[in-house]
Structure formats: structure tokens, C-alpha cells
Amino acid sequence: MNKHKASVLMRHEVGLHARPSVKLTKLAKAFESRIDLGLSPDGPWVDAKSIVKVMATRAPKDSTIYFRAEGADAKAALEALVTLVDGDFQDGR
């Protein structure tokens, strides 16, 4: 099975707030794999495609975000998500 893990430090000034969460969940949904997000390496995990769940983590600035993904495109998904968070949620717009 194709399982992957990754983590990244989030520096966004207001934390995992509405705008960054919208971008993150949108990106996650672009992939087939099941993707979870957590604030520690062993969870608890929430569905990274759910804006309700992602925002409920209330992740503040300077938290480390952990991802785990399972599915055909798991590796690509995590690379993309890490790039998004690492680039402070700029999507080139």
C-alpha cells in the first residue's frame, strides 16, 4: 500500500485561519488519496479535505503540521501540501 508521512512548520501570521485553510483543503481535494492532518506526529488526525475539521484544530502560528496520506498519489499530495504550507500559503495568485 502506498502510505506516506510528512511535516512542515507553519509560519502564517494568524495560524490555520480561514484563508489558508480554504487553500489547504482545496489542494487536498485535488488528490485521490486519503489525507489526514495533525498537530503532533501521532495524531489525533483529522481529514485534511474538511474545512470544518481543519479549522477546528485551531493551529496557531509556528505550529508544525503533520500529514499522512494513503493512496495512489499520496507522495505527490504530500509534496504539494508541504510546498503550500512552507510557502506561507501563497498560490501564485
Partner 1 sequence: MDDRTHRAAHRIEGRSAAPGLALGPLVRLSSVQHEVRQYRSAAEEHRALVDALAASQEDLGALSRQAGDDEAEAILAFQMALLEDDSLVAPALARIDAGDGAGQAWSAAIDPEIASYDAAEDPYFRARASDLRDLRDRVLRHLAGEADQTVPSGVILAADDMPPSTFLATDWRDGGLVLRRGSPSSHVAILARSRGVPMIVGVDVDRLEQGIDALLDADAGLLIVDPDTNMRAGFSLRRAEQSKARQAAASFSGPALTATGELVRVMINVTGLAELGVRDPAEVDGIGLMRTEFLFQAREKLPTEEEQYRIYRRMLEWAAGKPVTIRTLDAGGDKPIAGLTQPGDMNPFLGVRGVRLSLRYPDVFRAQLRALARAAVAGNLKVMIPMITVPEELDRCRALFEQACDELRREGQKAQMPPLGMMVEVPAAALTIEDFNADFFSIGSNDLIQYVAAASRDEPQLADLSRPSRAVFNLIRHVVDHANRSGREASLCGDLAGDPAQVAALLDQGLRVLSVAPGALGAVKAAIANYAGSAA
Per-residue CA distances from 71 to 35, 40, 65, 75 (Å): 9, 22, 20, 9
Nearer of residues 6 and 46 to partner 1, judged by Cβ: 46
Per-residue binding letters, 58-77, with partner 1 (x by CB under 8 A): x-x-----------------
Going 18 to 80 to 87 to 42, the CA torsion angle's sign is positive
Residue 67 CA to residue 77 CA, distance in Å, equals: 10
Cell of 93: 495568485
Rounded least distance, CB 73 to partner 1, Å: 20
Nearer of residues 56 and 72 to partner 1, judged by Cβ: 56
Among the residue ranges 32-40, 49-57, 63-71, 77-85, the one whose residues contact partner 1 (CB under 8 A): 49-57
Rounded least distance, CB 26 to partner 1, Å: 7
Q: Does 52 bind partner 1 (CB under 8 A)?
A: yes
Look-up: residue for cell 502510505? 3
* 12 noted as active-site residue: no
